């Protein structure tokens, strides 16, 4: 799965500052799949609208498949899977311990 790179546009960086508040926005958008997982969990409808200008709708469904464990909460996971046509949603990604 290859995700498009998000541009370092001012509106994208502003969204990144809000949804991935614990690291610099340039680092946050470097891994698109991870960034989308945070956006889909913590972003507002306006935040999502900004990012939709730069990526295809299918990237949101692909981000569900590539979601790192520990980012999505149950409510966000159920919502985005429903939008992707997946009902009932699959299990949340979980950590694999050795």
- DSSP reduced 3-state for 63: helix
Domain edges within the chain? 10-83
Comparing CA positions, the residue from 10, 18, 11, 78 lying closest to residue 49 is 11
Local confidence pLDDT in tens for the 98 residues of the chain? 678 899 999 999 999 999 999 999 999 999 999 999 999 999 999 999 999 999 999 999 999 999 999 999 999 999 999 999 999 999 999 988 88
* Helices and strands of the chain, counted as H and E runs: 6, 0
User: Which tokens go with 83?
Assistant: 């939008």
| Interatomic CA distance for residues 7 and 13, integer angstroms | 9
């Amino acid at each position: 799965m290859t995700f498009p790179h998000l541009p370092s546009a001012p509106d994208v960086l502003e969204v990144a500052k809000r949804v991935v508040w614990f690291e610099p926005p340039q680092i946050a958008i470097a891994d698109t799949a991870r960034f989308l997982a945070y956006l889909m969990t913590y972003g507002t409808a306006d935040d999502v609208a900004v990012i939709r200008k730069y990526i295809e709708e299918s990237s949101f469904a692909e981000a569900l498949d590539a979601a790192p464990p520990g980012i999505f909460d149950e409510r966000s996971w159920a919502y985005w899977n429903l939008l992707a046509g997946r009902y009932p949603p699959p299990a949340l990604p979980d950590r694999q311990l050795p």
